[in-house]
């Protein structure tokens, strides 16, 4: 549940973080990543930016500034894109009385074993147990039920108007295409960062590491990262990108 964007300069990529632009600790950044500046703008969509504004995290209209810079040679907007029927949405689950969990409920593998929650489609019982056990074993975020957000085709799936306007103005002036990367379309796994899902599914390549996106970002000389949310999507976009980045000798 979050949004981001990638943009590219004379060899420059930018990734938009929540209001205070994050500063990477130098020790965490390999020299090749430090040399990038292509703009990567992460998931600026109505549902996420509206929540951030309510929480006082970001000023309205302040998200599109980096995208306007005509030095940028590439812009990539990542978009949280969910079906309503999704493992992290209430309607996927029920308790013993048939009620769905409230938003921000955490569901553990032990909850499933104890019958606290189960999928409405009970044929998925073995899968959801394996899913939650994998999250726990690998130190991932616990399965959390989120308020419905960024449902494909809904107004909340749209990019925040100020960011979209700036991106479209950039493409008009530069005569280059904005790249849109949708994440989270598989209903059976969370997909916080744009680069890969929480739980990779062999039958769905979109849940695996997005090597094509990483390769395109590697053509940049500098990388700036901007977006929401800092705790989930932006955080793990950066971690995954650094982990996948080729190390120089």
CATH code, 192? 3.40.50
User: How many Cβ atoms are within 10 Å of 148's Cβ, its own excluded?
Assistant: 18
> Is 124 part of any domain?
yes
Number of domains in the chain: 2
Q: Which pLDDT score is estimated for 243?
A: 84
What is the per-residue pLDDT for 94? 99
Exposed, middle or buried: residue 86 (CB in 10 Å: 0-12, 13-18, 19+)?
buried
Give me the pLDDT at residue 166, please: 83
Q: How confident is the model at residue 207, as a pLDDT?
A: 97
Residues 174 and 213 in one domain: yes
Do residues 200 and 166 share a domain? yes
Rounded to whole angstroms, how far apart are CA atoms 100 and 175? 48
SS (H, E, C) the chain: CCEEEEEEECCEEEECCCCCCCCCCHHHCCHHHHCCCEEEEECCEHHHHHHHHHCCCCCCCCCCHHHHCCCEEEEEEEEECECCCCCCCHHHEECCCCCCCCCCCEECHHHHHCCCCEECCHHHHHHHHHHHHHHHHCCCCCEECCCCCCECCCHHHCECHHHHHHHHHHHHHHCCCEEEEEECCCCCCCCCCCCCCCCCCCCCHHHCCCHHHHHHHCCCCEEEEEEECCCCHHHHHHHHHHHHCCCCC
Query: Tell me, what's the pLDDT at 173?
Result: 85
Residues 236 and 162 in one domain: yes
Same domain, 188 and 79: yes
Q: Which pLDDT score, from 0 to 100, does residue 76 have?
A: 84
pLDDT at 78: 86
The pLDDT value recorded for residue 59 is 42
Residues (pLDDT < 70) of the chain are 1-71, 228-233, 248-249
- Residue 34: what pLDDT? 33
| Whether 43 and 126 share a structural domain | no
Both 226 and 160 in one domain: the answer is: yes
Which of 108, 129, 145 lies at the terminal end of a domain, its last residue?
A: 145
Q: Is 249 part of any domain? A: no
Cis peptide before 114, with omega less than 30 degrees from 0?
no
Q: Residue 96 contacts by C-beta under 8 Å, 6 or more apart in sequence?
A: 115
Segments forming the whole domain that contains residue 237: 3-84+148-244
- Contacts of residue 230, Cβ cutoff 8 Å, sequence gap at least 6: 17, 18, 22
| Radius of gyration in angstroms for the set of CA atoms belonging to the chain, rounded to a whole number | 18
Per-residue model confidence (pLDDT) at position 19: 28
Which residue shows structure tokens 């009970």?
122
Residues 153 and 58 in one domain: yes
Considering the domain architecture, whether residues 192 and 122 belong to the same structural domain is answered as no
Is residue 156 domain-shared with residue 233, that is, in the same domain? yes
Residues 124 and 79 in one domain: no
59 and 75, same structural domain? yes
pLDDT at 1 (0 to 100): 44
Enter the tokens of residue 136. Answer: 């726990």
Q: Are residues 174 and 118 in the same domain?
A: no
Residue 126 lies in a domain: yes
């Amino acid at each position: 549940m979050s949004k981001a964007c990638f943009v590219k300069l004379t060899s420059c990529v930018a990734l938009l973080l929540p209001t205070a632009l994050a500063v990477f600790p130098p020790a965490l950044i390999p020299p090749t990543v430090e040399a990038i500046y292509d703009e990567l703008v992460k998931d600026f969509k109505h549902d996420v930016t509206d929540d951030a504004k309510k929480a006082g995290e970001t000023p309205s209209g302040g998200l599109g500034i980096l995208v306007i810079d005509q030095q940028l040679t590439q812009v990539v907007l990542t978009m949280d894109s969910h079906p309503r029927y999704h493992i992290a949405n209430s309607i996927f689950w029920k308790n013993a009385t048939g009620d769905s969990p409230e938003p921000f409920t955490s569901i553990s593998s032990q909850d499933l074993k104890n019958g606290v929650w189960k999928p409405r489609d009970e044929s998925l019982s073995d899968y959801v147990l394996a899913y939650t056990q994998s999250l726990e074993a690998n130190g991932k975020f616990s399965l959390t039920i989120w308020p419905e957000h960024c449902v494909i085709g809904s107004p909340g799936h749209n990019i925040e108007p100020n960011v979209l306007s700036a991106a479209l103005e950039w493409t008009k002036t530069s005569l280059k295409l904005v790249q849109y990367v949708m994440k989270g379309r598989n209903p059976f796994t969370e997909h916080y960062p744009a680069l890969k899902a929480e739980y990779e599914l062999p039958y769905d390549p979109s849940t695996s590491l997005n090597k094509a996106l990483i390769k395109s970002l590697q053509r940049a000389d500098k990388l700036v990262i901007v977006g929401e949310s800092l705790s989930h999507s932006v955080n793990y976009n950066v971690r995954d990108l650094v982990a996948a980045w080729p190390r120089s000798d």
